Amino acid sequence: MNGLLVVRAGALTTVQDLGRAGYAHLGVPRSGALDAGAHALANRLLGNPSGAATLETTLDGVRPRALAPVTVAVTGAPCAVRVCGRPAAWGAPVRLRAGAELDVGRAELGVRSYVAVRGGFAAPVVLGSRSTDLLSGLGPPPLSAGAVLAVGAPGRDPVSAADAVAPPGPPIAELVLPLRPGPRADWFTPASRAALLSSAYQVSPASNRIGLRTEAGPALARARGGELPSEGMVLGAVQVPPDGLPVVFLADHPVTGGYPVVGVVPRGRALDAAAQARPGVRVRFVPC
């Protein structure tokens, strides 16, 4: 049988691809890999299309067993990679024989690692995506021990070892997020808007795939009372709930919300970095 058997599921491991674009009007979030760059790189190392499904781990990795020979790659948060107890490459193709166990260890830097398999994980497609959406419940459930993960037909050959990922640098001490103001920046006082762009926050332990929550920074004071009717939300929207502490919406964010959005972090490397920011990391917003 072609596939992988989950021996250890980890704290939170989900199947992710590029998400469900185009269904927000039906109330369906986009979802998809939080660190889109790491997801795409894992697939490129194996010759997969960028949209092939990978596994996204959270902090403590995952351990699957190959039911047939497969080739895998691990990217994202650097971690120890072992095959049958022996060290293996991180950021490069690794061949598994039938019965071999791939142990993706605890993240040494960052939060989320990505495990790709040549051919992609063949989870059922729901609304054009194989992604697990923790907010709506669409897609496959988070991994559990004993689950069998089907693998798709391989495409091109994996790239050469010359494309292995460069060794990671030191852990980030500060997450810098570019911010485009609006659409509701005028709901906050000029002093609060200035403080947002000149002060440091910290990543809260309450952060998850829905949003990066902040703490230990200045609460933003409103310039007006009342509440907004619900309006559309986008990836990277910086919403400000009643406690005044900004929340950066990530892949599983709701498609509507009633709290004002002070600005938007554009999609790209900054949001990828937000997916890897651990609790306690300093967060700064800078004008985009």
Tens-digit pLDDT profile for residues 20-59: 989 988 889 899 999 999 999 999 999 999 999 999 999 9
The pLDDT score that the predictor gives to residue 162 is 45
DSSP codes of every residue in 2-20: -SEEEEE--SS-EEE-S--
For 174-287, CATH number? 2.40.100.10
pLDDT at position 165, please? 65
- Backbone torsions φ then ψ of 159, nearest 5 degrees: -70, 165
Domain boundaries, the chain: 4-163, 174-287
How far apart are alpha carbons 159 and 47 in whole angstroms? Answer: 6
DSSP 40-107: HHHHHHTT--TTS-EEE--SS-BEEEESS-EEEEEEES-EEEEETTEE--SSS-EEE-TT-BEEEEEE
Look up residue 162 and give its DSSP letter. Answer: G
**Rounded distance, CA 41 to CA 33, Å?**
12
Closest by alpha carbon to 266, among 282, 249, 283?
A: 249
Structure tokens at 189: 């006082």
pTM of the model: 0.93
Q: Which residues of the chain have pLDDT under 70?
A: 1, 156-171
